[in-house]
Structure 1
Amino acid sequence: MYYVNREQITIRLGVIPEVAEALRQLCANWDGSLIQGMAQERAIHLGIEAVTDVGSYLIDGFIMRDASSYEDLVTIIAGEQVFPESLSEPLLELVKLRRPLVQDYYEWEREALHPLAAALPDILTAFKEAVEAYLLRELGE
C-alpha cells in the first residue's frame, strides 16, 4: 500500500493557476522594468518549486527510484508516465533554471523576458492536469 500525501500535492498544484496567470500577464505587458523582471523571476521560481515538490511527493509516495538531482526527478516521474512525453523536455528545461535563479541570481537578465516564460503557463497547466489524472488512475478518488 502506498502513502501518497495527496493533500500536500494538491496544495502545491493549487499554486500553478496563479503562477500561470502571472506569467501570462507579464508576457502580455512586458516592458523590461525591474519590477517585471523580479516578478518574472519569482513566477518562474514558483513554477520550478511546484513541479519539483510535487515530483518529490510522487517519488516518495509511490516508492519510485530516488532522484539525484532536479533533472533526475523530472526524468523519474516521466518514466513512470505521470505526464505525457511531450512535457519532458520543457519541464527539464524549466528545472534547469533553478540554479541560475537561486544560486546565480546576480547574473539573471532581469530586463529580458525569458524565452520559456510565454510557454510556461500551458506547460504548468498541462503538468497539473496530468498529475491529477495520474493520481486518479493510480489511487482512485
Structure 2
Amino acid sequence: MYYVNREQISVRLAVIPQLAEAMDKLVSSWDGGLLQGLAQERALHLAVETVTDVGSYLIDGFIMRDASSYEDIIEIIAGEQVFPEALKPDLMELVRLRRPLVQDYYEWQRSELHPLTVKLPACLIAFKEAVLSYLQKELDV
C-alpha cells in the first residue's frame, strides 16, 4: 500500500485556479509596467513550485524513481502517465524557468509578457484535473 500525502497535494492543487486567474488577468491588461512584471514573475515562480511540489509528492508516495532535477520530476510523472503527453512541453518549459526566476532574477525581462503566461492557465488547470484523476484511479478514492 502506498502512502500518498493527499492533503499536501490538495493544498497545492488548490492554488492552481488562483494562479490561472492571475495569469489571465495579467495577459488581458498587460502594460509592461513594473508591478505587472513583478506579478508575472511571482505567478510563474509559484506555478513552477506548485507543479514540482505536486510531482515530488507523487514520486514519493507512489515510490517512483528518484528525480535528479526539476525537469526529471516532469519526465518521471509524464512517464507514469500522470498527465496527458500534450502538457509535457509546456510543463518542461515552465520548470526550466526556475533558475532564471530564482537565481538570475536580475536579468529577467520584467517589461515583457512571457509567452508561457498566456498558455499556462489552461495547462495548469488541465494538470490539476489530470493529477486528481490519476489519484482517483490509483488509490480508488
Q: Give the TM-score normalised by the residue count of structure 2.
A: 0.99
Structure 2 counterpart of 1:73: 73
Shift of 1:32: 0.4
- Structure 1: which 4+ aligned runs deviate by more than 6 Å? none
Could you say which residue in structure 1 is the equivalent of 2:62? 62
User: Aligned runs of 1:1-141 on 2, under 5 Å?
Assistant: 1-141=1-141
Partners of 2:19 and 2:117 lie apart in 1 by 11
**Cα distance in 2 between the residues matched to 1:88 and 1:39:** 25
User: What is the root-mean-square deviation of aligned Cα atoms in Å?
Assistant: 0.4
Letter matched to residue 47 of structure 2: G
1:115 Cα offset (Å): 1.0
Give CA-to-partner distance per residue, 1:46-99, whole Å, 9 cap, x none.
111000000000000000000000000000000000000001111000000000
C-alpha separation in 2, matches of 1:76 and 1:57: 12
User: Structure 1: 5+ residue runs without aligned partners?
Assistant: none
How big is each residue's C-alpha offset from its partner over 1:83-123, in whole Å with a ceiling of 9 and x where there is no partner?
Answer: 00001111000000000000000000000000111000001
Deviations 1:9-66 (A, max 9, x none): 0000000000000000000000000000000000011111000000000000000000
For structure 2, the 5+ residue unaligned runs are none
Aligned residues: 141
Which whole-Å CA distance do the structure 2 matches of 1:79 and 1:119 have between them? 22
Residue identity matched to 2:79 = G
SS of residue matched to 2:56: helix
In the alignment, residue 9 of structure 1 is paired with which amino acid?
A: I
Identity %: 70
